Amino acid sequence: MSALNSSVVVVGYPPFRDENGIAMGTIDAITGKDRDAACRKGLASAPAKKALHDGHGCTLVVFAQEFYMQLLDASALGALVDTVLSEQSMSFDSVCVFDSHPGFFVERAPVRHASRAPESQLDAD
């Protein structure tokens, strides 16, 4: 592949065909909905992997590697984090999600807790 890259422009993935000196491969277009679903699935897996940990008093830090290339907008990352947090509970007090691209940093607290009673139940006791 590196030999091919050094001699011609490469677009897509194999199998390739020659189009006027450009190695043209297969390119699958995905919708924004499909892309967001994949990112949400990836983000949701981080707290799921830590479900058995006691995270009280701790912050869950998630490196969302190269999400900026998919989401293109830092506000979209915030909306995605909010969606994931609304769909599941965890024992961490807060969550920080970041990417290497400047501006892609989201911190949310407090987080709903899986093993704590809702606030209204705590007040009733």
Is residue 125 over pLDDT 50? no
Distance CA 90, CA 46 (A): 11
Higher-confidence residue of 76 and 26: namely: 76
**What sign for the dihedral angle of Cα 63, 28, 35, 76?**
positive
Is residue 4 over pLDDT 80? no
Q: What letters, b where the CB count within 10 A reaches 16 and e where it falls short, cover 26-41?
A: eeeeeeeeeebeebee
pLDDT of residue 116: 41
Higher-confidence residue of 35 and 119: namely: 35
What percentage of the chain reaches a pLDDT higher than 90?
A: 4
Per-residue pLDDT, averaged over 47-62, amounts to 85
Per-residue pLDDT, averaged over 53-75, amounts to 84
